[in-house]
Structure 1
Amino acid sequence: MTPDLAALTADHFRPLLDQDFTLAIDGAAPCAARLVEVTEGAPLHPSLPRAPFSLILQTTAPPVPWQGPVVLAHPAIGELAIVVTAVAPGPTGQRYQAVFA
């Protein structure tokens, strides 16, 4: 299952808080990434289909300061080809942010 990225909203991810996803960074072995935060912004314009939102994912793998394309997977969502940015090392690994505008 590959969902339409444009149709995803923060509401699709809120029930998945504190659950593990699989994060596959190009050239590295896939690792577990826990969804630790879902933040929804204010709608940019009434005509747009969704408000922007972001996800923060926490890995337990050694920190990899990556910015670029990844595949994020979860049984409830399927596989998403998205872009993440390493925002900070977390207490046990790396934190990554994905922004959906």
Structure 2
Amino acid sequence: MGSTSHHPTVQRFRPRATVEAIQWPEHTSDSHAYSHRVAEIHRWVNDHGGDTEVVIDSGDAYTVITTPRGRRVRILHGDWIIRGTTGSFFISKPDAFASDYEPVSDGSNG
């Protein structure tokens, strides 16, 4: 009997759903503008069912977001906070976000 090799057919996929996202700001010399922007992001996440929290640990203050699996993830400057199609929030690093998503011009700002 001859052996025949069966290889699975590998398919490629790209995201087809539109998501909402906002980028965590870099620190600037204008602390008022930075604080205002951060407060807007907290409000957006929390108003849409997400959960963010400011953590102060040994004098270091940072923000965490709770993922759908209950994991608390630290948000770093430049990270993208994404609200997926199910309404869940998750974090994407800037380079991964740029390779996976492109802006959509549909006239709405959510």
Asked which structure has the greater CA Rg, the reply is: 2
Structures share fold, TM-score greater than 0.5: no
Query: Normalization by structure 1: what TM-score?
Result: 0.24
